[in-house]
Amino acid sequence: MSTPEHTASAPQPQSQSAAAAVRADNQDPSLFGQTPWQTVGPFFHFGLPWNGCADLTGPSQMGGRADLMPTGFAALRGPERRDAAAPVGERIQISGHVFDGRGRPVPDALLEIWQANASGCYRGSGFAGQGPASIDQGFFGFGRAATAEDGSFCFRTIRPGRVHFTSSGGALQAPHIALGVLGRGLLKRLMTRIYFDDEPSSAEDAILRLVPEHRRATLMAQRIDAAAGGAVPGSDPSAHYRFDVRLQGERETVFFDY
Amino acid sequence: MGTIQTVNAQLSNAGADFRREDGAQPPSLFAPYASTVERAPHEPLLRIPQTPTEQSGPNEWEALFGEQVTDLTCTRGAPAQGQRIIVCGQVLDEDRRPVANTLIEMWQANAAGRYAHERDQWDAPLDPNFSGAGRVLTDAQGRYRYTTVRPGAYPWGNHYNAWRPAHIHLSLMGPAFATRLVTQMYFPDDPLIEIDPIANAVPRAYRQRMVAHFDINITQPSYALGYRFDIVLRGRAATPLRAQT
Ligand SMILES: [Fe+3]
């Protein structure tokens, strides 16, 4: 039974400010500002990847981890793609592994890509491109891939066209794909880019030039030729590239702040 | 969205830089969260200018991701176990402008603190009527709303007797690839927040930005408790010098 005496002798907060700090929440006007990043943790597979999220070229099951769903459970459903038009451009495949600082594969990472279509236009908000005619109805340009137990991932997409360096035009960038790396142990996304080692314009790309020369190779997807197990001429996809992500240490991937 | 207004809004925003991280963002390396030690880069991040690649982002959500799932308590026939809650709020940028038509994805443990995931080997029961994932779009004022159950706290292997505070994982794309945000929403008065290495990777002064607000006006009689959680994405750095047409 609570008495007035008990109430009076109840422990008091150390100070008003300590009490306020404990009570503060996202509705506190003095706290207004960017919501902080937090890790996706190890259990994102039923919420983020959808069926086929790593295949930007057509319907398939690439990119998810159905093997991680308990019996009777399934990941969130993806979109209906029955009537989707085939995208314009050259189909390519980019595969690789994600490694940690000890060179071990990372089995619980999520990769996200964002890229222009074959004519160098982004489909979505924030792009003042060449108008509706530049939109490829069969290509969104966004994809995800959860890494497998061996740390591997694989995207199937379209070779991106060249995009201007600024929204008002000017110099062209080399073909590239924006890449975000999320995962357990990654408190915030690591941002990088995928370039192509057989693309001559990479040599004069303004962003790549900001990267110290000895580290540029970490951003280059390497074409695998047919003799080494890559695509044979005329096949689909018509080019295979390897791109590994090294989170830390030797040959560490260059990550950006933008 | 294919309206003229939307297209014009996109064009007038094109080319504007987004602000950089503020002091609220955690470092990549935070040793008390042990998994960061071998995964955080050693090299400093390389600062680059934003180009159309970083300033644009997808916006045709249902065609790209699939349909919305805004009530997680009744996706599988029978009602889910646990305390039903409504979470709503507004997605804003740093200038308090609403972020309309943006996708929020959420995933969480069930009321017992167990994820519907093979790698979650804690012996708390799975709820056959709760899968724990959803997605919702913001309206023209940036508002969103979904119904779920309050997730339980759960143990993890980070250190002796480690327990995660109850949380809902949230993923937002925002208007551009640069504005991507993945965060966790915590609940007020949860004593585990104070001792959680993941929440505390965020500098203390900003940590409570991730704590939802209990709101009796969102609470519905004889139905569900209500929480408000506003989410703030990076805003525009400056108005570009261009004719407004
Ligand atoms: Fe979690």
Distance CA A175, CA A164 (A): 10
Q: What pLDDT, on a 0 to 100 scale, did the predictor assign at position B27?
A: 97
pLDDT mean values, one per 10 residues, chain B (245 residues): 43 73 96 98 97 95 92 91 98 97 98 97 95 97 98 98 98 97 97 97 95 98 98 85 46
Closest CA to B99 of A126, A236, A190: A126
Taking each continuous run of H as one helix and of E as one strand, the counts in chain B are 4, 12
Closest CA to A64 of A51, A77, A47: A51
What 8-state DSSP symbol labels residue B39? Answer: T
Instruction: Name A82's Cβ contacts closer than 8 Å, sequence gap at least 6.
Output: A59
Task: Check if the beta carbon of residue A184 is closer than 8 Å to that of residue B158.
Answer: no
- Tell the residue number behind the tokens 């009570």, with chain if given: A23
Q: What pLDDT, on a 0 to 100 scale, did the predictor assign at position B2?
A: 41
Q: What pLDDT, on a 0 to 100 scale, did the predictor assign at position A167?
A: 84
- Tokens describing residue B44: 């400093």
Q: Taking CB atoms and an 8 Å limit, are A46 and B58 in contact across chains? A: no
Distance A155 CA to ligand 1 centre (A): 27
**A residues 143-162 closer than 8 Å to B (CB):** none
Task: Check if the beta carbon of residue A36 is closer than 8 Å to that of residue B202.
Answer: yes
How is B14-29 classified by DSSP, letter by letter?
A: TTPPBP---TTSPPS-
Q: What pLDDT, on a 0 to 100 scale, did the predictor assign at position B96?
A: 97
Q: Which of A28, A35, A100 to mutate to test the interface with B (most CBs of B within 10 A)?
A: A35
Cis amide linkage into residue A237, ω under 30° from 0: yes
Q: What pLDDT, on a 0 to 100 scale, did the predictor assign at position B239?
A: 58
Closest-CA distance of chain B to residue A147, Å: 14
Residue A101 exposure: Cα atoms within 13 Å on the Cβ side: 14
∠ CA A210-A211-A214, rounded to 5°: 140
Q: What pLDDT, on a 0 to 100 scale, did the predictor assign at position A51?
A: 82
Residue in chain A lying closest to B91 (CA): A35
Instruction: Name B64's Cβ contacts closer than 8 Å, sequence gap at least 6.
Output: A79, A140, A142, B58
Which parts of chain A have pLDDT scores under 70? 1-23, 82-83, 130
Distance CA B7, CA B245 (A): 12
Report ipTM (2 d.p.).
0.92
Query: Taking chain B, what is the end-to-end CA distance rounded to the nearest angstrom?
Result: 20
Q: Report the predicted TM-score, pTM, of the whole model to 2 decimal places.
A: 0.91
